[in-house]
Amino acid sequence: MSNFKPEKLTTEYVDGVSAIGPLFSRRYTLTHSDFTGDLFLTIGTQFTWEKLNPMGDEVLGEWLTNGEHMVYCVYVQVDKSPYNESESKKRHEVFRRELPLALEAIRYGDQKLFSFYPNLDFVPIFVHFISVFPQSSGQENWGEFQRYRL
């Protein structure tokens, strides 16, 4: 796993979203540059589809309610077209290795929200690995954001 470097992260709020609100309908798009290692976090009311890169290795996230409890859902697209099982397996391994860094970046990039709502550090994170191949697909609990604080 790479080490998260805060100076490599740029955070942008769009669609009327601010550093402290709104909480619901708040969506995160985390992309990066393979050349510089810079991370780009866009926080808005929609995922920022136009910022997705051809590699398809971005991390998307959103706050949801599960009945009366909050959850943070992460979505990663494991497969690339055309579908290749071997490539999907490798991408799945890379996502698993790099997700802690991505979660640290999201937590750090939206730290004012976490300061304003300290209970968000205790919300469970569910990662959805999206793949047509069963061994690379599924949903997992990745703990709480308190685990990904700097």
The burial of 139, by beta-carbon neighbours within 10 Å (0-12 exposed, 13-18 middle, 19 or more buried), is given as: exposed
Continuous segment of H or E residues that includes residue 106: helix 85-109
Lowest mean pLDDT among 25-29, 54-58, 132-136: 54-58
Q: Which residues contact 17 (CB under 8 A, 6 or more apart)?
A: 26, 43, 44, 45
Neighbour-count burial of 40, counting CB atoms closer than 10 A to its CB (0-12 exposed, 13-18 middle, 19+ buried)? buried
Per-residue pLDDT tens over the stretch 95-131? 999 999 999 999 999 999 999 999 999 999 999 999 9
Amino acid at 23: L
Helix (H) or strand (E) holding 40: strand 39-44
Rounded to an integer, what distance in angstroms lies between the CA atom of residue 115 and that of residue 140?
A: 26
pLDDT for the residue numbered 2? 65
